[in-house]
Structure 1
């Protein structure tokens, strides 16, 4: 990211650019009635607070985020918007496979429930009746 610093005063001034990512501040001097552009490296996929100081006072503070990996390396946006959006959801085959799996699970559960109701049947009594 590039930070542009302008000195509108009549004398040379000192400045400092600080970040909240435990790196050293970037000090510098700027001549009267001039500007300077300083390149500042940001952390990828994390917020970085960039502060420009002059005479131990904050002049400007901004929180920025570098998303170079997500945006494809900082490529320029297309000249015209796409007419058709890309397909990002699951294919129809995947949906049919999920439906078939759900049906098979349901059928298996019904068979187990039915078989569990008829399997432990015994014709003889387990405990004899008490005769008093």
Structure 2
């Protein structure tokens, strides 16, 4: 799917049967971007995992397979490993994976996502740099469907 709803790899699975844009679809796409950042993999194709094992599939499927196998940290790009921040990276990965849940109702709202990432950044005072751009919505933006 390309064009009106975005690029293949960022489009949530529910758009195949009901191509109506939703905020939960936006959360899915953002989750794919979060996964790209930590894995350095393309959203449409993962050909080899971090352990050097062959894999054929997309980024979301791959990370979900690793999560199910208890190997989520294996998705992290080698350049980010061993820096003493595995706990934070795992927290980040869990946030990203929650965004790409198959069922849109299981995905966080954008506001909850914002709070989760802000909380993660506050440990390093990194969120202070962005306080000049406050969140417009001071509430949960959950959808009713």
TM-score by length of 1: 0.21
The structure with more helix, counted as a fraction of residues: 2
Which protein has greater RCO, CA pairs closer than 8 Å, 6+ apart? 2
Question: Over alpha carbons, which structure has the higher Rg?
Answer: 1
The structure with more strand, counted as a fraction of residues: 1
TM-score by length of 2: 0.20
